[in-house]
Amino acid sequence: GDSVTQMEGPVTLSEEAFLTINCTYTATGYPSLFWYVQYPGEGLQLLLKATKADDKGSNKGFEATYRKETTSFHLEKGSVQVSDSAVYFCALRNGGSQGNLIFGKGTKLSVKP
């Protein structure tokens, strides 16, 4: 079945460091891909998305490109801030289903001043 694999955490970075969180997927059909963020004590918020191959999603300085050839959707940010500390979830939604999201395990990011 469809699945999402993302890099294990936790990830600890210094402020202004470069961030990459790897995400790969397995899916039939033409999935849409998402990154969700969960700040401490809060619910899931959509960070960015891409709906077809080669699309780049971006928001708040974060970017991810839908790579069909490598089945990947890696999350990147050039310069992280303390406020970016959160858990990041990669997810896919497969159009062949009724549309439920399939999540990765999440990667906890801690950014130190």
CB of 48 to other proteins, least distance (A): 11
For the record, the structure tokens of 92 come out as 């896919």
* Contact region with other proteins (CB under 8 A), list: 10-18, 27-35, 55-63, 76-84: 27-35
29-68 mask for other proteins (x: CB under 8 A)?
xx-x---x-----xxxxx--x-x-----------------
If we measure between CA atoms, which residue out of 20, 22, 15 comes closest to residue 83? 15
Handedness of CA 106, 107, 111, 112 (dihedral sign): positive
For the record, the structure tokens of 14 come out as 């210094």
- Decide whether 67 or 108 has the Cβ nearer to other proteins: 108
Q: Residues interacting with other proteins, by CB under 8 A?
A: 29-30, 32, 36, 42-46, 49, 51, 89, 91, 93-106
